[in-house]
Amino acid sequence: MDRRGFIGAGAALALVPLLRQAWAATPAAVDHAAMGHGAMGAETMPAAAALGLPAGLALPALPLLRNQSALPGVFSAALSAGAQALPLLPGKPATVFWSYNGQVPGPTIEVFEGDEVRLHFENRLSQPTTIHWHGLPIPAEQDGNPQDPVLPGGSREYRFTLPQGCAGSYWYHPHPHGHTAEQVYMGLAGVFVVKSRKDPLAHLPEQRLVLSDLKLDADGKVAANSDADRMDGREGQFLLVNGAWRPQLTLGVGERQRWRVWNASSARVLKLALPGHELELVGSDGGLLQRPHRVDSVLLPPGARAELVVTGRFAPGHGAGLLALPYRRGKMMSAEQDVNLTLLELRRGTVAKATAQLPARLREIQPLGAPALRRRVVLSEDMANPQAMFLINGKTFDMERVDFHGKVGQVEEWDIDNQADMDHPFHIHGTQFQVLARRNNGVWREEAFLAWRDVANVSAGETLRLRFRQDMPGLRMFHCHILEHEDAGMMGMLRVQP
């Protein structure tokens, strides 16, 4: 059967839930071979080893986007999106990416709280695009909504001022109607760091780690999405860090480093661990936590960020570096991640470095007060309906439909109820939320600590209770951050009234 034909064939799609049940009954059968390569649109990726992508190089630094303004408190620069061939596989022709300013990942934007940001953007792609400033509290009309496309050959300026208190690790990526997944996997994404002038961790050496997926076809080209990718969310043969495969980083014994980590993959839920070392979670999407939390692992859904403080211990018997531990997210057409993946290899520094202090208090986070209103948001899947497979409150995204009306300054409480079979990471634009509690198997559990987030994984069968406040009027998208699901319509709109 023609692989392309699969998604359009309602009859074939109706089989998927049945197949899924069969697989669930026999977990051992859930692998590529059992699914028959290509027969049901399943994976046909060439193996990583066959492609010859070099591994083990030094961790690439992320180049900064240069500020062209001489005015204090103003950051001004230009970004353009276009095709760019980059050498990737030795002895093979260069691989074509779509990139910001010719770089994959895109140039890093680094500014301070309170800065005014002016970005001149030019679209040299053959598709409409936008730049969405993921997680930043900025005006809706500057936020790269799908309603505001920049056409091929077109340009615009994005302009916004970053409020005090928003220091954190954000990112930017395209958000055009229906083409977000493709534009991101082709290479369009970059990080956006907002710094505070009173940063309690400024004394620590900092590493920035952008995790992204690369899926190549047998010719070394960036592969198109398969049917399995459209269903499950795309995963590739390579999980890259700053564009490199399993790069190496040196850490001294006793040395303490601050790591900012971005999950810029389309769909992977990463359960990060660093066995043999000390790991402290100190920040989430919207900046620092109130205090450090010693952890064994950190769950980072697609789109989310974490700030970690890592202390080099090199405990005997470990030695691996940064790992993604096995995690099952309910995929239907492709294999689950059942093994550890090494993201980054750590080399023991020759000279032991003094262990820098880690402050006991990082900042205050005020809990959001009692909500002015409550809403229920049900996530579901209808595999028998290829036009509307991924649903929010029974509906697929419609650019003409506003799903909810809210008010500036009002606290809202949302229950995100995932009645589907896959995990769906929930994201909302324009603000940060606080997760209060989660319900699994009928039991509510309070969240262990306060954090500002803009993405939270909602696993299959789970209900997540969160609160947020929107401080600016306008149209705000909320959606699943598996980009293929977003493109397929698992997205809604909140209109915030002045």
Site for Cu ion, rule CB under 5 A? 134, 424, 429, 480, 482, 485
Which residue lies nearer to ligand C2O by CB, 467 or 479? 479
Q: Is residue 424 a contact residue for ligand C2O (CB under 6 A)?
A: no
- For residue 49, the minimal CB distance to ligand C2O (Å) is 32
Over the window 301 to 340, marking each residue x when it contacts ligand C2O by CB under 6 A and - when it does not, the resulting string is --x-------------------------------------
For the segment 289-308, give every residue that binds ligand C2O (CB under 6 A).
Answer: 303
- For residue 455, the minimal CB distance to ligand C2O (Å) is 8
Side by side, which strands form the sheet with 411-418?
390-392, 373-381, 411-418, 463-469, 433-440, 443-446
Pick the stretch among 153-161, 192-200, 380-388, 475-483 that binds ligand C2O (CB under 6 A).
475-483
Taking the C-alpha atoms of residue 122 and residue 120, their distance in angstroms, rounded to an integer, is: 7
Give me the residue label for tokens 């005090």: 164
Q: Is residue 190 a contact residue for ligand C2O (CB under 6 A)?
A: no
For the segment 146-185, give every residue that binds ligand C2O (CB under 6 A).
Answer: 173, 175
Backbone angles phi, psi at 172, to 5 degrees: -130, 145
Q: Is residue 134 a contact residue for ligand C2O (CB under 6 A)?
A: yes
Pick the stretch among 25-33, 110-118, 360-368, 473-481 that binds ligand C2O (CB under 6 A).
473-481
CA 288 vs. chain centroid, Å, equals 18
Give me the residue label for tokens 């190089």: 57
Which residue lies nearer to Cu ion by CB, 322 or 493? 493
Which residue lies nearer to Cu ion by CB, 429 or 438? 429
Query: Given the DSSP bridges, would you call strands 373-381 and 411-418 parallel, antiparallel or unpaired?
Result: parallel
User: Nearest-CA neighbor of 472 among 409, 402, 405?
Assistant: 409
Which residue lies nearer to Cu ion by CB, 20 or 485? 485
Select the binding partner of residue 365 from Cu ion, ligand C2O, none (C-beta < 5 to 8 A, by kind).
none
- The number of beta carbons lying within 10 Å of the beta carbon of residue 44 is 14
- For residue 477, the minimal CB distance to ligand C2O (Å) is 5
Select the binding partner of residue 268 from Cu ion, ligand C2O, none (C-beta < 5 to 8 A, by kind).
none
Give me the residue label for tokens 């992508």: 53
Contact between residue 86 and residue 215 where contact means Cβ atoms under 8 Å apart: no
Select the binding partner of residue 485 from Cu ion, ligand C2O, none (C-beta < 5 to 8 A, by kind).
Cu ion
Which residue lies nearer to ligand C2O by CB, 280 or 486? 486
Closest chain position to ligand C2O (CB): 134
Select the binding partner of residue 477 from ligand C2O, Cu ion, none (C-beta < 5 to 8 A, by kind).
ligand C2O
- For residue 423, the minimal CB distance to ligand C2O (Å) is 16
Burial class (CB in 10 A: 0-12, 13-18, 19+), 472: buried
User: What is the C-alpha R_g of the chain?
Assistant: 22
Q: Is residue 215 a contact residue for ligand C2O (CB under 6 A)?
A: no
Which residue lies nearer to ligand C2O by CB, 134 or 277? 134
Over the window 428 to 447, marking each residue x when it contacts ligand C2O by CB under 6 A and - when it does not, the resulting string is -x------------------
Over the window 80 to 119, marking each residue x when it contacts ligand C2O by CB under 6 A and - when it does not, the resulting string is ----------------------------------------
Q: How many CA atoms lie within 13 A of 266 on its CB side?
A: 28
Residue 324's H or E segment, with its range, is strand 322-325
- For residue 480, the minimal CB distance to ligand C2O (Å) is 10
- The number of beta carbons lying within 10 Å of the beta carbon of residue 316 is 7
Give me the residue label for tokens 């395209």: 174
User: Nearest-CA neighbor of 222 among 24, 350, 438, 46?
Assistant: 46
Burial class (CB in 10 A: 0-12, 13-18, 19+), 448: exposed
Please list the residues that pair with 492 across neighbouring strands. Answer: 478
The residues, ordered by sequence, that sit 6+ positions from 400 with a Cβ below 8 Å of its Cβ are: none
Which residue lies nearer to ligand C2O by CB, 283 or 301? 301
Q: What is the DSSP string of 167-208?
A: -EEEEEE---TTTHHHHHHTT--EEEEEE-TT-TTTTS-EEE
Taking the C-alpha atoms of residue 365 and residue 453, their distance in angstroms, rounded to an integer, is: 12
Residue 25's H or E segment, with its range, is helix 10-25
Taking the C-alpha atoms of residue 137 and residue 135, their distance in angstroms, rounded to an integer, is: 7
Taking the C-alpha atoms of residue 249 and residue 179, their distance in angstroms, rounded to an integer, is: 35
In angstroms, what CA-CA distances link 266 with 156, 224, 298, 342, 440?
A: 26, 13, 18, 18, 25
Select the binding partner of residue 215 from ligand C2O, Cu ion, none (C-beta < 5 to 8 A, by kind).
none
- For residue 34, the minimal CB distance to ligand C2O (Å) is 34
Select the binding partner of residue 175 from ligand C2O, Cu ion, none (C-beta < 5 to 8 A, by kind).
ligand C2O
Select the binding partner of residue 479 from ligand C2O, Cu ion, none (C-beta < 5 to 8 A, by kind).
ligand C2O
Q: Is residue 479 a contact residue for ligand C2O (CB under 6 A)?
A: yes
Taking the C-alpha atoms of residue 174 and residue 191, their distance in angstroms, rounded to an integer, is: 13
Which residue lies nearer to ligand C2O by CB, 134 or 465? 134
Q: Which residue in 477, 490, 493, 496 binds ligand C2O (CB under 6 A)?
A: 477
Select the binding partner of residue 424 from ligand C2O, Cu ion, none (C-beta < 5 to 8 A, by kind).
Cu ion
Size of the site for ligand C2O (CB under 6 A): 10
Select the binding partner of residue 303 from ligand C2O, Cu ion, none (C-beta < 5 to 8 A, by kind).
ligand C2O
Binding residues vs ligand C2O (CB under 6 A): 132, 134, 173, 175, 303, 427, 429, 477, 479, 481
